Structure 1
Amino acid sequence: MEITLTRLQNLKRLVAECHSQQAFAGEAGLSVQYLNQLLMGHRNIGEKTARKLELALRLESGWLDRGNDEQRSPVDVVLSQKAITVGLMFDRLPPDQQAAMQKVIAALAQSVDGHDQADCG
């Protein structure tokens, strides 16, 4: 399959995982207008744009170039050392405290970004 078609299919899959194109565009660091041009095939997803998207979405470099028949798997997401440390600490909490922390983190993320992070990827 041609790489531009593969990238487009993968982009469409990622956008479908999100609750709206506007939320996805914000998450990916793109304008909604530019995202629509990519999705409609009016612009190709070039090398530079593909890598920019992968970085913004915390995907493994080259992810958009591969045939990804299944939805994103946890191993495709690249986490910082800080995020890994926080995740390990979170896993040690009892379930009721985990639920409380999820609510706190979701509220903080929404206040910072203006949208619910849990709705995208």
Structure 2
Amino acid sequence: MSMGIDIFDIRLRNLKMLVSNRGDASKLACLLGVEASYISQIRIRKKRMGDDVARRIEKAKELPYGFMDTLQDAKDVHHRGMDATEVRLHNLKVLIEQHGGSGRLAEAVDTSPSYISQILSKKHASNVGSKLARKIECQLGLPHGWMDTPHGEIADKEDVAKESDFYVVAKTPEDLARQLKERGNDDILNIIRLLLDNKDKLGG
């Protein structure tokens, strides 16, 4: 425990870093087998987090014993609070940034650019499964399990939105129409904007 700070304040601070939004609170409540409103009451100081709940959170989130009782760094708490799917998505975004876009990363790991876009999409989200995670590690010469541990920081906290993120590979007009339909209206509008912005380069 840190001197001069109440243990309940320490636990509350760590909880708020673990549970940054309502969706996170619901997930944690589900893991603990309690109502989401119970977590909310702790967050707004209507209830205090006792030893039992602190230990249950540590167990549910696979945190070291006593983790909730010690002031934690926000970055460390954020990373520890992510599940396997979130960790892999975070690492995928880091790699996209390092490679200059999702299209280039897709080429480097020998996978479909549209598949990478689906993983990044909020409307048609796919997960980075174990098979893809291992393939990325193998293709890029990364250690086994690299994708399962948080690495690096993302410059833009929003989804990486570079031109190559809207990379579409289609052999026929029908294939192009299908891929655009899968992207959703927001991505289609972004692609149209990019085409208009670069019409001189495209010879239009």
TM range (shorter): 0.5 to 0.7
2:17–2:74 CA contact under 8 A, matched in 1: no
- Tell whether 2:37 aligns with 1:37: no
Q: Is the radius of gyration larger for structure 1 or structure 2?
A: 2
- Which of 68, 87, 92 is the equivalent residue of 1:64? 68
Q: Which has the higher contact order (CA 8 A, sep 6+)?
A: 1
1:36 deviation in Å? 0.9
Q: Give the alignment of 1:44-55 within 5 angstroms.
A: 44-55=48-59
Structure 2 distance, partners of 1:19, 1:96, is 34
- Which of 90, 95, 103 is the equivalent residue of 2:129? 103
1:31 deviation in Å? 1.4
1:16 deviation in Å? 1.1
1:19 deviation in Å? 4.5
1:23 deviation in Å? 2.6
User: TM-score if structure 2 supplies the norm length?
Assistant: 0.35
Secondary structure of residue in 1 paired with 2:64: coil
Label 1:6 to 1:21 Cα distance change in 2 as closer, same or farther (>3 A).
same
Label 1:74 to 1:6 Cα distance change in 2 as closer, same or farther (>3 A).
closer
- Which of 21, 26, 38 is the equivalent residue of 2:25? 21
Identify the range of structure 1 (66-75 vs 10-19) with the bigger mean alpha-carbon deviation.
Answer: 66-75
Gaps of 5+ in 1: 78-94, 106-121
Gaps of 5+ in 2: 82-108, 117-126, 132-204
Cα offsets for 1:32-59 (capped at 9, x unmatched): 0111111111110111110011101111
Q: Give the alignment of 1:57-96 within 5 angstroms.
A: 57-72=61-76, 95=109
1:4 equivalent in structure 2: 8
Cα offsets for 1:4-44 (capped at 9, x unmatched): 00000000000017844223322443310111111111110
Count, aligned residues = 88
Label 1:36 to 1:58 Cα distance change in 2 as closer, same or farther (>3 A).
same
1:61 deviation in Å? 0.8
